Amino acid sequence: MRRSIATVGAVALGLATLLPGVAQAAPKPSDPGLSPADRAALAAGIPVAPKAAPGTKPAGPNPYLSLLPDPSKADYSGWASYLSRQAAGKAAARLKAQRASSAAAKTAAAVVVDEDEPDGTFGSNENPASAQLIPGFGTGAKQNPAIRILGSLDPESVTPVSREATPEDDGSIPLAGETGIGSGRSAIVTSAQIGDGPHGSAGTGTNDFDFYKLSATAGQTITVDTDTPTGALDTLVALYTPDGTIVASNDDADGFDSLLTYSVPASGTFYAVVAAYSGLPADPFDPASGDGGASEGPYTVTISAASSDKDFFAVQLKPGDVLGASVKGAPSYLTVYDTDPREVHGSGQDATFIYPMDSKLPGGGNAATDYVATKAGWHYIGVSEGKGSYDITVEAYRPPLQGNKPTQTLFLDFDGARVNTGVFGGTGNVTLSPFSAFLAKWGIPRAQEGAVIDAVVATVTENIKQDLIASGLNNRFKLKILNSKDDPDPWGQKNVSRIIVGGTIAESGVSTIGISQSIDPGNFETEETALVLQDVLSDPAGGPASLNTYLTDASNRVAFVGQAVGNVTSHEAGHFFGNWHTDNADATPNLMDAGGTNFDVLFGVGPDGVGGTADDVDVDFGDSQFIPAEGFKGTEDTLGRIVFGVTS
């Protein structure tokens, strides 16, 4: 069940405060310690945390796998770089292990498909409607589930015109320097300095921004590419529309240099900004609206608006097919469109290091993507953002549990457990305290432990079993949910994954609320572990991630704690059953929403701001946008990605 538009409107108008007889919770917590400029950067998908040194692993838990109390402290740029460096090795190790298994003999050799569009041209397969059809691909008895697509991206060739740096102050949209792009030229290159304007460190100290004005027509691609040959400057780039809306951004495409590309949907004027990490303006119309402290130094930027080359290929899938694709060569962007067609997983990175060892999906390229089909029909693989030849690996598999008698079991362990948290970046073998140790912190008597556990189990069962059965997408969906209160511990048996509901950050050595062992589209690894730690959830009221923030005398505490902890537990199960994070700031509540200041949405707090009252919201899996900070684009069907992997 989703929160309706009418309900959201009531909250915005303050009507929730008029409900009679309900004790009101404290106002919704704001971003602790975040400046308006930081909030603008995070909203654009640009992180603000300190970065790891180049080539090193970032500190803290992997944010792609974690439900972080404060995502603003996550080094997303560093993690994206780290995952990309590790992807090729992990992909090779998975392939080697598969070849050594008895199933290797059944793996079909990839069929090579050449792009029909002649080299040096573009325009014939630019979108799903004009995609090159590839018959014979699929998971059927007479189909081949593996192909390699060889082709070339050949965008319009443009020669940048050198121009002098724009005079300062060019630190806002109204003050932007003219590039002439769209008025007689297609591209410019200029060298300039971050820090030489009136708001650099020698001036007001609020950070220097350089804005550039350009025009582009529908169908063109805008590119903003920075290079910092000397100095300590760490650039970031963003693209605004005239009303100040950010439509694209990038940080760290090549080392600490940034490269932005944007496909123009409608002709118009745009404003590109070159800034320093983490230094977006809070208000793009105010050159003094930075928050200071950003790096400074010289840079060169190339800006263009030209016709791009996008190549799309159509393959037929059936419901439950698990699709994986990886690209090497020129393209830096790879995407999948469904039958609608809509973009369902666009990627400019290779994050397949997160897949478990048993996953069969390909990786190790410039970018990788995955998708679980929910409808039969043509689906579309697209590549873009580059110039030159490419090699796309596309593979499709049926979920490994399909046709097997064993059933996937999900075990919820509330008793505390001995766990090797090293797999999550923790300290190794530790003992986590039981769920019962936290009840008093929510004002719940120990005598009601059983009732709270029952409420958690009921919430997880509704979220990850009943809703999936009710979807009707997979009439063979089958999942057994057991718990430590009512059932013997099955951990260690075949096809049993577990979630430990208990423990603390200090005990585990993992600074998070929840964390899963992997993200596993198709559920290839059926024996994994996730943690749902309880210390942040039971902190004193005030923080957005504490359940106490939403508890008052009007609350049914057992119901709310059961619902909220059950939703977090479902979130972690959603990861190792195949889901990435969704955007916690959009209008659609989703069980895969990432952490942040909107924890009340994930917890199911209703419009009155109080948990455990009649207007609490049933948060479910379903369609939602990927969270921008993690670098994916499109609509993720978080229900569809689970429902076929758990099959017998």
pLDDT at 16 over 70: no
φ, ψ (nearest 5 deg) of residue 560:
-70, -45
Query: What mean pLDDT comes out for the span 525-540?
Result: 98
Render pLDDT for 54-94 as a digit per residue (tens, 0 to 9): 889 999 999 999 999 999 999 999 999 999 999 989 988 98
Buried b or exposed e, range 108-140, using 16+ CB within 10 angstroms: eebeebebebeeeebeebbebeebbebeebbbe
Quick one: pLDDT at residue 27?
Answer: 55
DSSP sequence for 599-628 = HHHHHT--TTS-TTSTT-------EEEBPG
Question: Can you tell me the distance from the alpha carbon of 65 to that of 530, in angstroms, rounded to the nearest whole number?
Answer: 10
Quick one: pLDDT at residue 22?
Answer: 36
Side by side, the strands of the sheet bearing 322-329 are 111-114, 146-153, 388-397, 322-329, 367-372
Residues contacting residue 588 through CB under 8 Å, at least 6 positions apart:
2, 582, 622, 623, 624, 625
Comparison of pLDDT for 14 and 452, the residue scoring more: 452
Mean pLDDT lowest for which of 35-44, 489-498, 619-628?
35-44
Quick one: pLDDT at residue 12?
Answer: 28
| Domains of the chain, first to last | 110-155+310-397 (2.60.120.380), 161-307 (2.60.120.380), 403-643 (no CATH)
The residue assigned the tokens 């207007």 is: 615
Cα within 13 Å of Cα(286), Cβ side:
10
Render pLDDT for 430-466 as a digit per residue (tens, 0 to 9): 999 999 999 999 999 999 999 999 999 999 999 999 9
pLDDT at 423 over 70: yes
Q: How many whole angstroms from its chain centre is CA 53?
A: 23
105 residue type, one letter: A
Distances (CA, A) of 4 to 62, 618, 637: 33, 12, 19
**Which value, to the nearest 10 degrees, does the dihedral of the CA atoms of residues 260, 262, 267, 269 take?**
-20
Query: What mean pLDDT comes out for the span 372-399?
Result: 97
Going by pLDDT thresholds of 50, 70 and 90, the confidence category of residue 11 is: very low
Question: Can you tell me the distance from the alpha carbon of 344 to that of 161, in angstroms, rounded to the nearest whole number?
Answer: 37
Distances (CA, A) of 179 to 14, 262, 422, 631: 45, 17, 52, 28
Query: What mean pLDDT comes out for the span 350-373?
Result: 96
Cα within 13 Å of Cα(322), Cβ side:
25
Mean pLDDT lowest for which of 255-259, 522-526, 547-551?
255-259
pLDDT at 520 over 80: yes
Burial class of residue 320 (count of CB atoms within 10 Å of its CB; 0-12, 13-18, 19+): buried
Q: Which residue blocks in 66-222 are alpha helix, DSSP H?
A: 76-100
User: What token pair was written down for 448?
Assistant: 């009601």
- Give the chain's mean pLDDT: 92
pLDDT at 368 over 80: yes
Render pLDDT for 494-512 as a digit per residue (tens, 0 to 9): 999 999 999 999 999 999 9
The residue assigned the tokens 């106490």 is: 548
Question: Can you tell me the distance from the alpha carbon of 592 to that of 394, in angstroms, rounded to the nearest whole number?
Answer: 26
Q: Give the range with max mean pLDDT: 38-42, 47-51, 641-645.
A: 641-645
Side by side, the strands of the sheet bearing 161-162 are 161-162, 187-194, 297-307, 220-227, 259-263
Question: Can you tell me the distance from the alpha carbon of 508 to that of 32, in angstroms, rounded to the nearest whole number?
Answer: 24
Comparison of pLDDT for 229 and 258, the residue scoring more: 258
Quick one: pLDDT at residue 121?
Answer: 87
The residue assigned the tokens 């912190």 is: 441
pLDDT at 322 over 70: yes
Going by pLDDT thresholds of 50, 70 and 90, the confidence category of residue 25 is: low
Report the candidate in 280, 293, 188 with the shortest Cα–Cα distance to residue 240: 280
Buried b or exposed e, range 549-584, using 16+ CB within 10 angstroms: bbbbebbbbbbbbbbbbbbbbbbbbbbbbbbbbbbb
Quick one: pLDDT at residue 17?
Answer: 29
Quick one: pLDDT at residue 20?
Answer: 33
Question: Can you tell me the distance from the alpha carbon of 370 to that of 353, in angstroms, rounded to the nearest whole number?
Answer: 13
84: helix, strand or coil = helix
pLDDT at 7 over 60: no
Report the candidate in 592, 572, 566 with the shortest Cα–Cα distance to residue 580: 592
Render pLDDT for 183-217 as a digit per residue (tens, 0 to 9): 989 999 999 999 999 999 999 999 999 999 999 99
Residues contacting residue 542 through CB under 8 Å, at least 6 positions apart:
26, 29, 549
pLDDT at 585 over 80: yes
User: What token pair was written down for 488?
Assistant: 């013997």
Quick one: pLDDT at residue 45?
Answer: 87
Beta strands in 285-352 (DSSP E): 297-307, 311-317, 322-329, 333-337, 343-347
pLDDT at 134 over 50: yes
User: What token pair was written down for 445?
Assistant: 């008597």
User: What token pair was written down for 91?
Assistant: 């992909």
Question: Can you tell me the distance from the alpha carbon of 335 to that of 380, in angstroms, rounded to the nearest whole number?
Answer: 8
Query: What mean pLDDT comes out for the span 609-620?
Result: 98
Going by pLDDT thresholds of 50, 70 and 90, the confidence category of residue 590 is: very high
Quick one: pLDDT at residue 32?
Answer: 58
pTM: 0.92
